[in-house]
Amino acid sequence: MESVSDVVESLGLPHDFKFKTGTNGHSRRLKFMVTGGCGYFGFELGKVLHHLGADVTLLDIQLPPKIKEVLDDHLHFIRLCKSLTEEINVQGTRNVIKACRVNNIQRLIYTSSYNVVLEGKPICAGDESMPYADPNKMVDYYSRSKLAADKLILQANNTMLDDGRELKTCCLRPAGIYGPGERRHIQRIANYIDWGIIIMRIGDAVVDWTHVNNLIQIHLLAVRGLSKTTDYIAVS
C-alpha cells in the first residue's frame, strides 16, 4: 500500500494534504461517498481517497466484475440507452442532491463534462465563464443529460440543508479520461488502428484528454476549496 506522502507527491498536492480533522486533540477520518464507484475514474478516485486516510464508500448501479461473473447466467444487463442515461445522469443527480440535503452533507462535487459547453466547434482558451451549449446543437443525448445535471448541481449551491447549514457544490468538466488501466478509450483507439480507420494528417484538429491523476488532483483540491471545516463529502 502506498503511503500518504507517496500519494501526495505523485499527484502534486500540497505537502500537508490529508483528510483528517481534529478537535481537542482528537483526530477523525473524513467520510466520502463516490457514486459511479465501479467505473474507471470513480474507482481510481476511491483508491486515492483511501490511501489518504479517508473513509470511502463506493456506490454504483453496476455489480463488481467478480459478482457479475457468478451471476452472469442468471441476469440480463441492460445496455446504455437514452432513457437510462437520463435516469442516471439527471434523476440520479436530483437524488444525490436530495440525499445531501436530508443527511446534512455540506459538500457535493460533480464530475461533469466539457461537453456541456461544446457545440461541435473548436474551443480555444475556454474557462468556467463559457456559457452552456445550446442543447439543440449538442452532439448526443449523453451530453444533453450532463448539461442538465451540471445545471442542477450549480443551482443547488448555497441552498439550505435540513439542519439550517448551506450546501456547497461545484462542477468539474474534464475531457476524455485516460491513464493506467483505462479500457474504454484506449481500447477503442487501438481497435481503430487495427481496423485501419485512423486517419493521420497534418492540421489544426486537436482534442484534449485528461489524465486520471490530474482529474483526481482537481477533485481533491475542490474539496479543500469548498470548505475546510466539515467532514462529509459526496463525490459524484
pLDDT means over runs of 10, the chain (236 residues): 72 68 56 89 92 87 55 43 84 94 93 91 85 90 94 96 94 92 83 83 79 93 75 51
What pLDDT does 66 receive?
54
Q: In the prediction, which pLDDT does 174 show?
A: 94
pLDDT for residue 54: 86
pLDDT value of residue 91 = 93
In sequence order, the 6+-apart residues with CB closer than 8 A to the CB of 19 are: 29, 30, 32, 49, 52, 53, 54, 223
Whole-number pLDDT of residue 77: 41
Which residue, 54, 65, 59, 100, is CA-closest to 219?
54
Strands 107-111 and 232-235 come out as: parallel
Question: What was the pLDDT predicted at 19?
Answer: 59
Domain ranges (residues) in the chain: 4-182+210-235
Q: Are 165 and 176 in contact, with CB atoms under 8 Å apart?
A: no
Give dist(CA 214, CA 45) in Å, integer. 11
| CATH number for the domain whose boundaries are 4-182+210-235 | 3.40.50.720
Instruction: Measure Cα distances from 195 to 134, 139, 172, 188 in Å.
Output: 34, 24, 34, 10
The reported pLDDT for the residue numbered 169 is: 95
Q: Could you list the active site residues?
A: 142
Whole-number Å distance between alpha carbons of 103 and 32? 13
